[in-house]
Structure 1
């Protein structure tokens, strides 16, 4: 294995285009053509597979793979995600959408299905590879030890926050969903107490709500858990535990996908920590659901029978 191939992948890829400029003189002729195409057409390259780039430039997908490794990445998928993280900060969302529609417009509906599902598969595989087992165990312990778990999500990530809140409640964990942003977020923070856990889902960019939330948690002695993008480090030095997941390279799959899968794994692990508590909560949930199946206007005795209890004499 050559020294270049043995180079470990970066923890934070930074500016992909700057990396291409720095390493371009050291690339082979074939690698140079591919790197220049990425630098000149980053939005288009972001939405293409290694095979598609190779076909566009008259090269093989293996040449694309070697180019990615020569630039310090493990392969084309990691280079794409790093490029996507960079463009998300530098290119207007409307421009990215226009490019996405232009690049994919010639594809059949069946091909679009393949493209989206392939990106989802890549994101989940990358997220699993980047999840540290010890950090995950720490996250499980933080949730299990918390008096109350307060869950917050920035923007679209509020969906992940609500999802985790419901899953925790079903496991018998006292959890609250902080839904608001802006001034209304202060009301949610009033419920935070020492011994609680604040869980935040955030892409990694800085938000005043996260600044205030993490500072308040530290002041009170509450623990903190952050779900964030693999390549973002804005808050990692201000929280007790970080779960990193891969963002979408081309914006083809939802922001919440890998974070919600990681949340599922977290809840499953909690069930193993306290199986009796999880089973008791499940029985109570099903009992309440049976009671809710009764016809509106039926008697209390009917409701009791539906819930699995006998009516009082």
Structure 2
């Protein structure tokens, strides 16, 4: 089973193959997923009038190893749709500072492992090629995704010409995309809760004929619907803070891949930059470990 798919869509796609009892479970989850996400298998069975074993078989039929795995997917779906205040109410595992740091870092590790396991290498290669061939590269990410967009833009400006990070400012987002054409690419970064403005801008770019590269959490996310190529990085969260560690890692890989393609071109460029940085004392030359560009 494709783990990136929305569990509600999985249920809908398999509905006709379910038994009578399983259809009762399916209908209840589709109509009350916010309640079902926190029910035990026994409680869910009791609620819809079937046995606990029927609930477990229902999860197996959908491709899950067990009910707990299905329940986890439901809870992640809920977290992606809840408001910030509602997310806080779900944060019940942070009993102390030690547990908090362990739980949060473990979740980030899980997100990276899931991203690595499910990455589409063909899509990744295609995204690199589209970016290299584009006349102009527009990077779009708003709200919490703006940090990812800024980071990607910072490094791409070292590698490529005509890189523009779209942001809120004196000019409206659509004004910043006004001159975009079919020869350009928009890299749209969008994570739950998906910014409506980002989606509107991607739709605008699509109408202008731009190629769209989506960086998001799922192939069924709103941003993926506009993308010619979609790169998936998991962002499952534990609380009100968005987990952007896996998306950042994916963006790092994307930058490195582009850098390898432009290696010969950028070598001279970086030599000039190093000379300028030295002349202008940009970095602390007394620190032997100082080799970053921040």
Contact 1:223 1:240 in 2 (8 A): yes
* Superposed counterparts of 1:204-215, under 5 Å: 205=194, 207-215=196-204
Correspondence for 1:53: none
CA distance in structure 1 between the partners assigned to 2:97 and 2:244 by the alignment:
24
Q: What displacement does 1:187 show?
A: 2.3
Counterparts of 1:191-270 in structure 2, within 5 Å, are: 191-203=179-191, 205=194, 207-219=196-208, 221-230=209-218, 232-251=220-239, 254-270=242-258
Moved more, 154-163 or 243-252: 243-252
2:93 maps to which residue? 104
Corresponding position: 1:165 with 2:153: yes
1:140/1:9 CA distance change after superposition, 3 Å: closer
1:80 to 72, 78, 82: 72
- Distance in 1 (alpha carbons) for counterparts of 2:248 and 2:20: 38
Deviation at 1:128, TM superposition (A): 1.5
Distance across 2 between alignment mates of 1:247 and 1:82:
15
User: Do the aligned residues in 1 keep the contact of 2:214 with 2:231 (CA within 8 Å)?
Assistant: yes
Report if the CA contact (8 A) 2:182-2:210 is conserved: yes
Question: Contact 1:247–1:255 (CA<8 Å) still a contact in 2?
Answer: yes
Q: List per-residue Cα deviations over 1:134-163 (Å, max 9, x = no partner).
A: 000000101111122110103210111100
How high is the TM-score relative to the length of structure 2? 0.71
* 1:311 counterpart residue number: none
Query: Unaligned regions of 5+ residues in structure 2, if any?
Result: 13-17, 23-32, 41-55, 283-294
Map 1:1-313 to 2 at 5 A: 8-9=1-2, 11-15=4-8, 42=37, 69=60, 72-73=63-64, 80-89=72-81, 91-100=82-91, 103-106=92-95, 108-180=96-168, 184-203=172-191, 205=194, 207-219=196-208, 221-230=209-218, 232-251=220-239, 254-293=242-281
User: How far does residue 269 in structure 1 lie from its aligned partner after superposition?
Assistant: 0.8
- Residues 139, 149 of structure 2: 8 Å contact kept: yes
Say if 2:87 and 2:240, in contact at 8 Å, map to a contact too.
no
Corresponding residue for residue 310 of structure 1: none
2:7 is paired with a residue whose SS is coil
| 2: CA distance, partners of 1:77 / 1:217 | 37
How many correspondences in the alignment? 253
> What is the rounded CA distance, in whole Å, between the counterparts of 1:249 and 1:67 in structure 2?
26
Deviation, structure 1 residue 14: 2.8
Q: State which structure, 1 or 2, has the greater radius of gyration over its C-alpha atoms.
A: 1
CA distance in 1, matches of 2:257, 2:172: 33
Q: Which residue of 2 aligns with 1:309?
A: none
Gaps of 5+ in 1: 1-7, 27-37, 46-64, 295-313
Once residues 44 and 284 of structure 1 are traced to their aligned partners in structure 2, the CA distance between those partners, rounded to angstroms, is 61
